[in-house]
Amino acid sequence: MDRIRIVGGNKLSGSIPISGAKNAALPLMIASMLTDETLTLENVPHLADVEQLIRILGNHGVDYSVNGRRENQLGPYARTINFTAKNIVNTTAPYELVSKMRASFWVIGPLLARMGEARVSLPGGCAIGTRPVDLFIDGLQQLGAGIDVESGYVLARTKDRLIGNRYVFPKVSVGATHVLMMAASLARGETVLENAAREPEIADLATCLNAMGARIEGAGTRTITIDGVDRLHGAVHSVIPDRIETGTYAMAVAMAGGDVVLEGARAEFLEAALDVIRQTGAEVQPLNSGIRITRNGAGIAPVDVVTEPFPGFPTDLQAQFMGLMTMAKGRSKITETIFENRFMHVQELARLGAHISLSGQTAIVDGVKKLKGAPVMATDLRASVSLVIAGLAAEGETTVNRVYHLDRGFERLEEKLSGCGAVIERISG
């Protein structure tokens, strides 16, 4: 199993290209099943989760092809992938595929909308929580689907076609908002989604669906209106830059010190996080080409944070921020309100010398002057990168094991950081 070796102490300087957003690419790829024509996605990140979803879509009969480089192509890594669901040959998403990547459960929306039936494995829990799907089931039933849950599978079917309706989310859910927006696009009549998720990835999916012929308004706000159409056609869509990757590298610079431009980043996708990073003492300067992050020797100020749905501070940056706070000049409180078990990184950060105590859903971090490198274990995608952030400033060598968690959501992380002066390498084996 690969691991990442870091020797802390170097400042970062130069630039880091920000990749396409994993959490936009996944729903966009699934949306390709809503049409029998080709959906071309540009700026798709090269990630394990993307490869896994390509396999899952292939299981339903979706063809894909990857374009070669074009002379004016964005960044060195971005890929353009064509997805064609000419015929959907299989409406079952099996446990062995869905359990590996939770977002694959979202195929239930397009399968129902296009085929009138779906048999999708319950995704099961994961390291950060039980991850129920009750809101998906509730919402699809509101659109007229008949749903049973048996032997670990959700069986969904419609008599004829989904029927537009009004659905009020009892709590904000990104995935359920994606799925109901996709399903309602091909329903008969109008659907209104209230208390919908407002993440930028929702608006990105709506932009793509509208390019495919859907009629969606209000994506990115609490109320989304979808006027169903009979069919969708192919389109070309470019994936938005990854706001979580952006926030992660901004915190890496705040931790290690230095001056880095995050190429292609869009500040409007993570204002709450950038504001918190400013409060820690780093300078954050939006540019036309991205965002410039600078932190000189003045140290890291402690800041309290509570995670919230967008536009609040994102749960996907909570672990990274805790990494940064381990060396703040004082106490900070970090409260996780979205997932019930998203503090696995605490024990690993403690192995590096961090002083963190837990009180319910709040972590109390007392910053220390020095962290000391040590072998640590990655437990989930975002926790693993918080260990990298801490390792950048820890004295001596830190080895992060089980980096397959990292590879799910961070494209060529060690290349991007070593390109800015970090001593970091991947050790295969």
Contact 96, 119 (CB under 8 A): no
| Candidates 115, 122, 126, 272; catalytic one | 126
- Rule CB under 6 A: say whether 245 interacts with ligand EPZ: no
Under the binding rule (CB under 6 A), the answer on residue 131 touching ligand EPZ is yes
Strand pairing class (283-286; 153-157)? unpaired
- Interface with ligand EPZ (CB under 6 A), residue from 51, 134, 148, 275: 134
Which listed residue (12, 143, 176, 319) binds ligand EPZ by CB under 6 A?
176
> Is residue 315 a contact point for ligand EPZ (CB under 6 A)?
yes
Cα(209)–Cα(178) distance, integer angstroms: 11
Does 338 help bind ligand EPZ (rule: CB under 6 A)?
A: yes
The residue at minimum Cβ distance from ligand EPZ is 175
Q: Does 167 bind ligand EPZ (CB under 6 A)?
A: no
Q: Helix (H, G, I), strand (E, B), or coil: what is residue 259?
A: strand
The whole-angstrom separation of Cα 352 and Cα 330 is 17
> How many Å from the N-terminal Cα to the C-terminal Cα in the chain?
5
Task: Give the count of residues interacting with ligand EPZ (CB under 6 A).
Answer: 23
Between residues 10 and 318, which has the closer beta carbon with respect to ligand EPZ? 318
* Candidate ranges 64-72, 173-181, 324-332, 383-391; the one touching ligand EPZ (CB under 6 A): 173-181
Q: Which of 339, 377, 304 is nearest to 126 (CA)?
A: 339
- Please state the closest distance from residue 408 (CB atom) to ligand EPZ, in A: 8
User: Rule CB under 6 A: is residue 180 a binding residue for ligand EPZ?
Assistant: no
Nearer to ligand EPZ, 300 or 319 (CB): 319
- 27 versus 164: smaller Cβ distance to ligand EPZ: 27
According to the binding rule CB under 6 A, does residue 132 interact with ligand EPZ?
yes
Question: Which of positions 381-400 make contact with ligand EPZ (CB under 6 A)?
Answer: 381-382
10-18, 29-37, 131-139, 287-295 -> range binding ligand EPZ (CB under 6 A): 131-139
CA angle 99, 198, 332 (to 5 degrees): 85
CA 116, CA 398: separation in Å to the nearest integer?
Answer: 52
Q: How far apart are CA 34 and CA 386, in angstroms?
A: 37
Site for ligand EPZ contains 16 (CB under 6 A): no
Is residue 126 among the annotated active site residues?
Answer: yes
- Dist CA 384 CA 164 (whole Å): 41
DSSP H stretches of helix in 95-216: 95-98, 108-115, 134-142, 174-185, 200-211
> What sign results for the dihedral spanned by CA atoms 408, 410, 411, 412?
negative
Q: What is the contact surface with ligand EPZ in residues (CB under 6 A)?
A: 23, 26, 102-103, 129, 131-136, 171, 173-176, 315-316, 338-339, 381-382, 409
The set of catalytic residues is 126
